[in-house]
Amino acid sequence: MKLNENFVLKTVAGSAVVMPVGEAVTKVHGMIKLNPTAEIIWKALEAGKDFDGIVQALKDSCNGVDEAMLKEDVAVFLEKLRSYGILED
């Protein structure tokens, strides 16, 4: 799993925002605001983590979450990223 390099994550005044650049500007108009959970997933992807690595990163940051539910949510989010062309392969 690899993030498309034409999407840039930056924290602006405490709020995580993903901006399209280059070719991606024609695919995604505007920008994407990430909530804290999505930000953890994004950073795990940036660090080259696989699916289990992402789930682990989330488990480390929030205690007592149901692992099955977490996996399902991560899968849904990754699918969404793929549909926008943000996540490649």
**77 CB contacts (<8 Å, ≥6 apart)?**
38, 41
Q: Residue 56 corresponds to which amino acid? A: Q
What's the closest the beta carbon of residue 19 comes to other proteins, in angstroms? 6
Total chain residues near other proteins (CB under 8 A): 17
CB-CB contact of 42 with 3 (8 Å): yes
In the complex with other proteins, the residue whose CB is nearer, 12 or 62, is 12
CA distances from 84 to 27, 29, 31, 34, 81 (A): 8, 11, 12, 14, 5
What's the closest the beta carbon of residue 6 comes to other proteins, in angstroms? 7
Q: Residue 70 corresponds to which amino acid? A: L
Which 3-62 positions form the footprint of other proteins (CB under 8 A)?
Answer: 5-6, 8, 10-15, 17, 19, 21-22, 25, 30-31, 33
What's the closest the beta carbon of residue 78 comes to other proteins, in angstroms? 23
- Applying CB under 8 A, the residues found at the interface with other proteins are 5-6, 8, 10-15, 17, 19, 21-22, 25, 30-31, 33
